[in-house]
Amino acid sequence: MVNGNIMLKESAADYFFNVNAQITASMLLISVLVTLLLSQSKNYIAKSKTTEALSVITASIQDLTAHYYETNQWPRAHKIHHYNSETIGSYVASISFDGVGGLHIEFNHQESLLAGKYLSIVASVPKESRAGSIIWVCGYAKPLTGYQLTSASKTDLSPLLLGMACKNSNNQAKETQ
């Protein structure tokens, strides 16, 4: 005892054990953080590819909407504008129109989180009459109140890979006039 205080002596072995334990705990924490960061990075990359695929079909949405307003029906077949592997990237297998108001993007196996999955954008029309705006509904989003979908969505992607407009929320649809 020195001046009323108890002096504890730490052996060199105890000191090195404590330092090793602290280093090990720090390395474990860093490993967990890196794993989470990589996981989120993969989701972000896949999400950006779904957003890009949707942007490519904008011209087709405008053409389909114009055709529907002129004829009050959907075309039986529709060529998707601006679709080729150079403009959309190598991760889209196909983009198709089903003839009743649904555009469906199928992803290939280039991106593991998207492989073999679909993302749809489907037209919705007023329930009471065919007159009025066509509102395009993406992914898991619901049509506006008073509107009905014209086709079934094939979307089977994780909601984590979709933008806000494509998630399961009402009034997130894109109106085209």
> Which CATH number fits the domain that encloses residue 167?
3.30.700.10
90 or 71, which is more confident: 71
Residue 146, domain member (yes or no): yes
Q: Following DSSP, what letter does each residue of 75-143 receive, concatenated?
A: -S--PPTT-SHHHH-TTEEEEEE-SSSEEEEEE-TTSTTTTT-EEEEEEEEESS-S-S-EEEEETTPPP
Average model confidence (pLDDT) across the chain: 79
| pTM beyond 0.85 | no
Residue 95, domain member (yes or no): yes
Residue 9, domain member (yes or no): no
Residue 22, domain member (yes or no): no
Residue 158, domain member (yes or no): yes
Residue 40, domain member (yes or no): no
- Exposure string (b/e) for 3-38, b if CB count within 10 Å is 16 or more? eeeeeeeeeeeeeeeeeeeeeeeeeeeeeeeeeeee
Residue 31, domain member (yes or no): no
How many separate domains does the chain show? 1
Q: What is the pLDDT of residues 84-131, one digit of tens each?
A: 555 556 788 888 899 999 999 998 887 888 999 999 999 999 988 766
Residue 21, domain member (yes or no): no
Location of structure tokens 């290939």? 108
The whole domain housing 126 covers 47-176
pLDDT exceeds 50 at position 175: no
